[in-house]
């Protein structure tokens, strides 16, 4: 089998499973309990937090565990806006964000009547002129613009955005969804001058169900989860210590293997481009050369992705359509979301007709050159059998 959908999720690494077993067995207590059993759990929780903070280059006290990037993004947007509800000002975001950002932002517009400015990113180039205008025109409460885009792998200029905020709207807070960057490209939110950043565990060989939100010390936030006051009041609920420990182990492995993995996926990205050009000459690679090497988006005109994904899957090759989350939109909103909100691929300048024929291939350190060979060979076969441009 060839698994090429690592941007959707990754297999849990065996070292991570071992670590989680150990913690479930030996540190299963409630970290809030003040007896020794609770303290053992607390110690593991805090060690895990320190590992994640270290990888982000921030203080442990600035890292809050959540259930994943979706919750981190919701908490970042809603938490900041609720804390600033007495000073309404617009939100700036991009047209290519994940739904967990976009829908949170839209929620704030609906509930609090805050204006929203969308910055275009045609061909993956975030329009910094638009951003400059937006920051100059009227007060801004929050900028939320991702680092690595999850469908095409575009890398947005996070540090440049931070500098513009500093210069033009120093009162605005700046959040970065770093889900597709963390544990891969070693993002450092402080270098971006971001006050908030979202990350997740299951994209890097850790367990599902845990992520984190970095919130710079001193930033005022409201919570979405009321209760026992865990995570310094920002996210109540008994902490899943074994998940935190598994997440931390995945981060340690990613850090230790960083250079090696990066060189490896760069080679895979070059390989897939070369093989596609040779064996599927119709194919259009949507990801620019300077995109994240972990993601390659490719369209095959005349070959619908609903068909090609199934064809590949039947032969043990797993890729996805534009992204796993996009297919959820279709499913959940039964067409209405689609009509109101153009496919984000369209917003990236990829025509709608091409959106239906787009596949996303995404790598991890465990992906092999053989996996790439099989993908391209099977896609070529599929195109010969099912494509309309034979």
Select from 29, 31, 68, 206 the one that contacts ligand PMP (CB under 6 A).
Answer: 68
| Total site size for ligand PMP, rule CB under 6 A | 14
Q: Which is nearer to ligand PMP, 19 or 203 (CB)?
A: 203
Residue 146 in contact with ligand PMP, rule: CB under 6 A: yes
> In this chain, which of 102, 117, 140, 150 binds ligand PMP, going by CB under 6 A?
150
Would you say 25 and 198 are in contact if contact means Cβ atoms under 8 Å apart? Answer: no
Residue 292 near ligand PMP by CB under 6 A: no
Of residues 313-342, those binding ligand PMP (CB under 6 A): 325
- Residues 187-206 within binding reach of ligand PMP (CB under 6 A): 200, 202
98: contact with ligand PMP by CB under 6 A: yes
98/329 with CB nearer ligand PMP: 98
For residue 296, give Cα distances in angstroms to 6, 44, 270: 11, 37, 10
Per the DSSP assignment, residues forming a β-bridge with 356 are none
The verdict on 50 binding ligand PMP (CB under 6 A) reads no
By beta-carbon proximity to ligand PMP, the closer residue of 135 and 146 is 146
Residue 281 burial (CB count, 10 A):
9
Q: Burial letters for 357-373: b for 16+ Cβ neighbours within 10 Å, e otherwise?
A: bbbbbbbbbebeeebbe
Terminal C-alpha separation, the chain: 27
Contact call for residue 180 and ligand PMP (CB under 6 A) = yes
Shortest spacing between CB 35 and ligand PMP, in angstroms: 34
Could you tell me the smallest distance in angstroms from the CB atom of residue 254 to ligand PMP?
Answer: 16
Instruction: Choose the binding region for ligand PMP from 175-183, 299-307, 364-372, 380-388 (rule: CB under 6 A).
Output: 175-183
Residue 12's nearest CA partner among 148, 209, 180 is 209
Q: How far is the CB of 121 from ligand PMP (least distance, A)?
A: 14
Q: How far is CA 279 from CA 125, 154, 362, in A?
A: 29, 25, 19
| Stretch binding ligand PMP (CB under 6 A), from 176-184, 235-243, 245-253, 294-302 | 176-184
- Strand ordering across the sheet containing 211-215: 63-66, 211-215, 196-200, 173-177, 140-144, 90-94, 116-119
**Selected binder of ligand PMP within 2, 10, 51, 70 (CB under 6 A):** 70
> Do 288 and 376 meet the contact criterion of CB atoms below 8 Å apart?
no
Instruction: Find the shortest distance in angstroms from Cβ 148 to ligand PMP.
Output: 7
DSSP alpha helices (H): ranges in 4-98? 14-26, 36-56, 69-83
The Cα–Cα gap between 199 and 67 comes to: 10
The Cα 224–Cα 235 span in angstroms is: 7
Nearest Cα to 100, choosing from 386, 306, 325, 286? 325
By the rule CB under 6 A, 177 interacts with ligand PMP? yes
Which residues are the active-site residues?
325
Q: Which stretch binds ligand PMP (CB under 6 A): 62-70, 116-124, 220-228, 294-302?
A: 62-70
Residue 334: is it exposed, middle or buried by C-beta count within 10 angstroms (0-12/13-18/19+)?
exposed
Residue 91 has which token pair? 């939100």
Shortest distance in whole angstroms from residue 71 CB to ligand PMP: 7
Segment 218 to 247, residues that bind ligand PMP, using CB under 6 A:
none
69 binds ligand PMP (CB under 6 A): yes
- Which residues in this chain contact ligand PMP in the complex, by CB under 6 A? 68-70, 73, 98, 100, 146, 150, 177, 179-180, 200, 202, 325
């Amino acid at each position: 089998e060839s698994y090429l959908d690592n941007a959707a999720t990754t297999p849990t690494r065996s070292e991570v499973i071992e670590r989680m077993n150990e913690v479930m067995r030996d540190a299963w207590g409630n970290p809030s309990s003040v007896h020794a059993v609770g303290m053992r759990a607390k110690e593991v929780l805090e060690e895990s937090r320190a590992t994640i903070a270290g990888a982000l280059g921030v203080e442990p006290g600035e890292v809050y565990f959540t259930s994943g990037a979706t919750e981190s993004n919701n908490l970042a947007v809603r938490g900041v806006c609720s804390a600033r509800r007495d000073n309404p000002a617009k939100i700036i975001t991009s047209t290519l964000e994940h739904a967990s950002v976009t829908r949170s932002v839209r929620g704030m517009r609906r509930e609090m009547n805050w204006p929203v400015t969308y910055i275009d990113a045609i061909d993956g180039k975030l329009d910094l002129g638009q951003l400059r205008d937006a920051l100059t025109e009227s007060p801004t409460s929050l900028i939320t613009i991702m680092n690595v885009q999850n469908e095409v792998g575009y890398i947005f200029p996070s540090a440049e955005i931070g500098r513009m905020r500093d210069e033009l709207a120093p009162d605005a807070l700046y959040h970065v969804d770093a889900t597709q960057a963390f544990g891969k490209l070693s993002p450092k939110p402080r270098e971006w001058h971001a006050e908030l950043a979202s990350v997740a565990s299951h994209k890097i060989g850790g367990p599902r169900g845990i992520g984190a939100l970095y919130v710079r010390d001193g930033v005022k936030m409201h919570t979405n989860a009321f209760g026992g006051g865990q995570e310094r009041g920002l996210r109540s609920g008994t902490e899943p210590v074994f998940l935190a420990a598994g997440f931390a182990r995945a981060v340690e492995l990613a850090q230790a293997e960083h250079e090696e993995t990066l060189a490896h996926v760069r080679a895979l990205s070059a390989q897939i481009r070369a093989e596609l050009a040779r064996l599927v000459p119709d194919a259009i690679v949507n990801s620019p050369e300077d995109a994240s090497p972990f993601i390659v988006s490719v369209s095959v005109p005349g070959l619908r992705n609903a068909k090609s994904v199934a064809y590949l899957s039947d032969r043990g090759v797993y890729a996805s359509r534009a992204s796993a989350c996009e297919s959820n939109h279709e499913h959940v909103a039964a067409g209405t979301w689609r009509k109101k909100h153009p496919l984000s691929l369209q917003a990236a300048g990829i025509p709608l007709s091409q959106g239906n024929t787009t596949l996303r291939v995404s790598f991890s350190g465990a992906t092999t050159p053989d996996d790439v060979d099989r993908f391209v060979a099977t896609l070529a076969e599929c195109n010969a059998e099912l494509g309309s441009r034979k």
